[in-house]
Amino acid sequence: MADKKQFVVFGLGRFGSNLAIALADMGYNVLGVDRDENIASSMANRLTHVVSFDIRDARAMEQAGIASFDAAIIASGNLEASLMATMLCKEMNLSEIIVKAIDERHAEMARRLGATEVIFSERDTARRVAFRLVSPHMVDYIEIAKDIQIMGIDMPRRLVGKNLIESELRSLYQLNLIALIHEGKTIVSPSPNQVFAADDRMFLIGTPETFARFEREMMD
């Protein structure tokens, strides 16, 4: 069996600490790093290891063995520190370097310095709330690319009793049904003849435009 991935999280603020704890709770080895000793010590019982140092310090990064980790999550709110840590992780050849960006400028610089993924926690949360406000039937939402989304939706009343073909999800709305929760069971890639029930939940993939049209014309 392959060894479990090891993660290092730089910056133990609200986002960084919650992410680190989630990974640790799933059984992964997690090193938490924060410049503030009080913050670092408060996480000592939740993570595999916790250390306190300035993430702009190349020597401290070396001494902490950062090069041996599989993935780094850089969640520092300090622009200079975030970019320096990104560069140092790239120099250490980490295969995954995920940066929480402050803004688009930060994101672009992080990518140039070696970030393999950039996230905007506040922006993504705001979008999720916006979708919930305009789509009361929505139960989950994931943006997998700039113009591609997966949305979990309680079964629209107008589709109850119809099957996938009769729903015309693809032909009318350019939406694809990728999974369905039916009678408590998850069905991946449901049959075209699957009949929808009132308590079902559908998971659709599409674009913001196609979801907006579906919402206007189908949901009530």
Q: What is the C-alpha to C-alpha distance for residues 80 and 54, in angstroms, rounded to an integer? A: 11
Domain end position, chosen among 119, 138, 172: 119
User: What is the mean pLDDT of the segment spanning 126-130?
Assistant: 65
144 and 195: one domain? Answer: yes
Backbone φ, ψ for residue 163 (5° rounding): -100, 180
Q: What average pLDDT is seen over the chain? A: 88
One domain, residues 95 and 34: yes
Res 126: pLDDT: 65
Global pTM value: 0.65
For residues 11 and 112, state if they share a domain.
yes
- Among 83, 103, 119, residue at a domain's last position: 119
Q: What are the beta bridge partners of residue 74?
A: 10, 99
* pLDDT at residue 110 in the model: 96
| CA terminus-to-terminus distance, the chain | 50
Evaluate whether 51 touches 75 at the Cβ level (below 8 Å). no
CATH number, domain of 59, equals: 3.40.50.720
**Res. 120 pLDDT band, cuts 50 70 90:** confident
Model confidence at 134: pLDDT above 90: no
Check whether 2 has a pLDDT greater than 50: no
Band (127; pLDDT cuts 50, 70, 90): low
| Greater model confidence, 115 or 125 | 115
Which percentage of the chain shows pLDDT scores above 70? 89
Residues 71 and 96 in one domain: yes
Greater pLDDT, 85 or 150: 85
Q: Is residue 40 within 8 Å of residue 50, measured between CB atoms? A: yes
Torsion angle of C-alpha atoms 191, 193, 199, 200, degrees rounded to 10: 30
Q: Taking residues 147-158, what's their average pLDDT?
A: 87
pLDDT: is 125 or 21 the higher one? 21
Classify residue 96: in a domain, yes or no. yes
Do the domain assignments include residue 23?
yes
> Could you tell me the CATH number of the domain that includes residue 191?
3.30.70.1450
In a domain, 113, yes or no: yes
Q: Mark whether 199 and 129 lie in a shared domain.
A: yes
- Residues pairing with 117 in the sheet: 98
Q: Give dist(CA 70, CA 125) in Å, integer.
A: 27
* 49 and 83 both lie in a single domain: yes
Per the structure, the complete domain to which residue 57 belongs is given by 6-119
Task: Please give the sequence-ordered ranges of beta strands (E in DSSP) within the chain, or none if there are none.
Answer: 6-10, 29-33, 49-51, 71-74, 96-100, 117-119, 138-145, 148-154, 176-182, 185-188, 201-206
Q: Above 80 in pLDDT, residue 40?
A: yes
Distances (CA, A) of 106 to 76, 88, 100: 12, 16, 9
Residue type (1 letter), 75:
A
Check whether residue 179 and residue 196 sit in a common domain: yes
pLDDT, position 209: 83
Q: Is the pLDDT assigned to residue 117 strictly greater than 60?
A: yes
Residue where a domain terminates, one of 63, 92, 119: 119
Block residue for tokens 């997998």:
144
27 lies in some domain: yes
pLDDT higher than threshold 60 for residue 198: yes
- CB distance 192 to 151 below 8 Å: no
